[in-house]
Amino acid sequence: MVANNYELLRSQVEPGYTPKYASGAYLKSEVVVQKNVVVRPEDDTDWRMWFVNLEESSGSVNVTVDVTLEGGSTETLTATGLDTSVDYSDFLSNFIAAVIPSSITVEKRCDSCIVIDGIDKEILNISAILS
């Protein structure tokens, strides 16, 4: 059984939160994507992406991100051979350098996450796989 990585992530950003792992669970490297809905009307809605438990990977990983835009088009971002032993901020920079988006923006935010946003079209969904 795989531990709920969301629980680990929540415990890292919410002071005092104790993760509730299933008995006998283990951690694995994973990419987590979440729609960021902001409350101020002058702000856009964007998507945030984190890589968790990279220390559980040995060597390098591949990342595939499928971004579904309004109108049904999909843009796929692929980064291969990313070294998981580097500093987390460097890992994010290496991911961004490896992908070449055309209809979306991909940028690092606060050395902790990647922000993905549509240029001319709204993003409807994002799915990401770390292998």
What's the pLDDT score for residue 1? 34
pLDDT tens digits, one per residue of 8-19:
777 777 778 777
Query: Where does the pLDDT of residue 2 fall: very low under 50, low under 70, confident under 90, or very high at 90 and above?
Result: very low
pLDDT tens digits, one per residue of 103-130:
899 999 878 889 998 888 889 999 999 9
Pairwise CA distance, residues 95 & 67, whole Å: 15
Q: Look at residues 75, 76, 110 and name the one whose alpha carbon lies nearest to residue 93.
A: 110
Residue 39 has pLDDT above 60, yes or no: no
Return all residues near 2 (Cβ < 8 A) that are at least 6 apart.
25, 26, 27, 28
Residues 47-69 have a mean pLDDT of: 90
pLDDT tens digits, one per residue of 59-69:
899 999 999 99
Tell me if residue 13 falls in helix, strand or coil: helix
Return all residues near 106 (Cβ < 8 A) that are at least 6 apart.
77, 96, 99, 114, 115, 116
Mean pLDDT of the chain: 83
Q: Please state which of the four CATH numbers 3.30.310, 2.60.40, 3.40.960, 1.10.10 is assigned to the domain occupying 31-130.
A: 2.60.40
